[in-house]
């Protein structure tokens, strides 16, 4: 039987599968019109299956992980129809997506499925479940968008599927690309890549070596061993209701979209990126949620979020595989004033931009994929203990798209969490709007809708403060210093 070795990083996502955290990316597409399962199958056959990977199973054995062709491939199994009971509105669809997000894929088949939900809000919803071992969110969004077109007519065309050949194992070339900017100061890319993997394995297995590496880094300046050690020695994240023992049931929710132009305008006026604004809004929503539950929120409270960082070159957008690193962002949950919070998030994100954390995290994932299972368990436990949430922001097209002749009204997705992390926050921009989605462990946070419903209020607060403040970043910061939080109108305060 012919087989292809799965890259180390992709193997890591395969091996991190656990009943309490399934390694699936879950998405939902809402269409303005009715689409049948047979329409979806025709599109998948013409376009999706051009990637031979989607006809292959992921097989783990004593020799490693492999892509193996599914000789009994059955498209009918991968595309199913679902009929919701009752009025088939948002509540019912959220319940269905929650159930699917809690249900593992069948490892005896290729790890993906499309569920066509008939008569949703007068149209159709399509829920997609794809295992993370196939690709990261950036790549999967691009592959899913390849099923669409800018016109209704174009989306109905069914060109002959030309097979798209993924590299058998592109990890070597990828490591060269990732390390190229660093090689000028630190030597050969291949040597760094191999050294990083070995350091990741060794330090994950020996915390004492990690502590010594931190001390050594302060003497020599930045080095990879020191950066790895800093991640390993972060310590357990703050104890809030977002941390705890996980169960096997997930709950999802999504918010009403926000206008992208308005978010851009606020960011420009405050001298912040869109990402700074969105992450500070997420921190504010989590703060409000804790307070409404009666939990103490000290001014110094912060929780860590793992934020994926795209490391794939633009030319590789349609290549499958996982090409991203991770950074640990301290979210200032304890800061009550929205303006203070957004500037603090901006400051922390700027410090992370010069960090080697994304490359280090990629190396640790590679160690998980190629190393023994004990290393996997150690690294997964470290990532899980060090953070309370995964937060990701994926840019989508800013014009309407059509699928099987019908306009896509809304797109949402949810990222998986690894180890003991029980919450994921996903941000996706599409057609001039920004969409927020939250997935939580049902035992820790049974009502993620109570989080996503706060995003609009958080943005309204920032918008009001921006409009009332002098124009420009320096003036806004001066206004913050002169104007205490108590002067913000009551309906715009989180005090």
Report how far residue 14's alpha carbon sits from residue 370's, in angstroms, rounded to the nearest whole number.
12
Report how far residue 438's alpha carbon sits from residue 390's, in angstroms, rounded to the nearest whole number.
10
How many angstroms separate the Cα of 194 from the Cα of each of 283, 323, 369, 397, 402? Answer: 37, 17, 14, 37, 45
Tokens of 169: 């194992």
pTM of the model as a whole: 0.83
Digitized pLDDT (tens) for each residue of the chain, 495 residues in all: 578 988 878 888 888 888 999 999 999 999 999 999 999 999 999 889 988 899 999 998 887 889 999 999 999 999 999 988 767 789 999 999 999 999 999 999 999 999 999 888 889 999 999 999 998 877 888 888 888 999 999 988 876 555 554 444 434 333 333 333 333 322 333 333 344 444 444 444 454 554 454 455 444 444 555 566 666 677 788 899 999 999 999 999 999 999 999 999 999 998 999 999 999 999 999 999 999 999 999 999 999 998 887 776 666 556 787 777 778 899 999 999 999 999 999 999 888 876 667 766 766 666 666 666 666 666 667 667 788 999 998 888 889 999 999 999 999 999 888 878 999 999 999 999 999 999 999 999 999 999 999 999 999 988 888 887 665 556 555 555 655 443 444 444 443
How many angstroms separate the Cα of 259 from the Cα of each of 157, 166, 284, 455, 463? Answer: 31, 37, 19, 12, 12
| DSSP string covering 1-61 | --EEEPPHHHHHHHHT-BTTB--EEEEEEEEES---HHHHHHHHHHTGGGBGGGGEEEEEE
Q: Which CATH number applies to 3-156: 3.30.70.100, 3.40.50.740, 3.30.559.10, 2.160.10.10? A: 3.30.559.10
Q: How far apart are the first and last CA of the chain?
A: 64
Chain length of the chain: 495
Nearest to 444 by CA among 422, 428, 465: 422
Report how far residue 158's alpha carbon sits from residue 448's, in angstroms, rounded to the nearest whole number.
39
H or E stretch at 337:
none
Ramachandran quadrant class, 431 (left: phi over 0; alpha: psi -120 to 50; beta: rest): left
Report how far residue 215's alpha carbon sits from residue 70's, in angstroms, rounded to the nearest whole number.
51
pLDDT given at position 476: 56
Backbone angles phi, psi at 412, to 5 degrees: -140, 155
Q: Give the domain ranges of the chain.
A: 3-156
Nearest to 253 by CA among 451, 120, 26, 421: 451
């Amino acid at each position: 039987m012919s087989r292809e070795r799965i890259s180390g990083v992709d193997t890591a996502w395969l091996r991190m599968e656990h009943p309490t955290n399934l390694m699936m990316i879950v998405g939902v597409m809402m269409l303005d019109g009715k689409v049948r399962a047979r329409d979806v199958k025709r599109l998948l056959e013409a376009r999706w299956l051009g990637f031979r990977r989607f006809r292959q199973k992921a097989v783990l054995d004593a020799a490693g992980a492999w892509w193996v062709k599914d000789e009994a491939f059955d498209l009918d199994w991968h595309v199913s129809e679902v009929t919701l009971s009752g009025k088939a509105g948002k509540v019912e669809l959220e319940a269905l997506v929650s159930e699917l997000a809690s249900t593992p894929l069948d490892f005896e088949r290729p790890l993906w499925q499309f569920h066509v939900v008939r008569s949703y809000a007068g149209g159709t919803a399509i829920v997609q479940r794809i295992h993370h071992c196939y690709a990261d969110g950036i790549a999967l969004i691009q592959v899913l968008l390849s099923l669409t077109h800018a016109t209704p007519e174009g989306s109905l065309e069914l060109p002959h599927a030309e097979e798209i050949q993924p590299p058998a194992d592109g990890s070597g070339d990828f490591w060269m690309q990732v390390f190229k900017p660093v090689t000028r100061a630190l030597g050969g890319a291949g040597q760094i890549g191999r050294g990083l993997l070995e350091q990741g394995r060794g330090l994950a297995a020996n915390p004492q070596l990690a502590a010594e590496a931190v001390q050594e880094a302060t003497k020599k300046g930045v080095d990879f061993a020191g950066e790895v050690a800093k991640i390993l020695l972060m310590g357990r994240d703050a104890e809030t209701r977002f941390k705890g023992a996980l169960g096997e049931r997930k709950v999802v929710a999504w918010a009403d979209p926000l206008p992208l132009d308005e978010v851009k305008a606020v960011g420009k006026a405050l001298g912040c990126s869109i990402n700074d604004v969105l992450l500070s809004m997420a921190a504010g929503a989590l703060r409000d949620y804790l307070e409404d539950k009666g939990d103490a929120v000290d001014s110094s409270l912060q929780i860590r979020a793992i934020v994926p960082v795209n490391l794939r070159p633009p030319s590789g957008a349609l290549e499958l595989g996982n090409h991203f690193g991770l950074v640990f962002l301290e979210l200032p949950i304890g800061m009550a004033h929205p303006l203070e919070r957004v500037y603090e998030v901006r400051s922390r994100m700027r410090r992370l931009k010069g960090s080697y954390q994304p490359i280090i995290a990629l190396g640790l994932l590679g160690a998980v994929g190629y190393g023994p299972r004990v290393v996997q368990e150690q690294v997964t436990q470290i990532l899980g203990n060090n953070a309370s949430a995964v937060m990701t922001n994926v840019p989508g097209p800013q014009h309407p798209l059509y699928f099987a002749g019908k306009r896509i009204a809304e797109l949402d997705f949810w990222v998986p969490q690894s180890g003991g992390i029980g919450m994921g926050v996903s941000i996706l921009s599409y057609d001039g709007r920004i969409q927020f989605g939250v997935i939580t462990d049902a035992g820790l946070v049974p009502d993620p809708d109570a989080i996503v419903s706060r995003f609009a209020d958080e943005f309204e607060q920032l918008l009001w403060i921006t409009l009332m403040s002098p124009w420009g970043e320096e003036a806004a910061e001066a206004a913050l210093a002169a104007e205490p939080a108590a002067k913000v109108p009551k309906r715009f305060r989180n005090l």
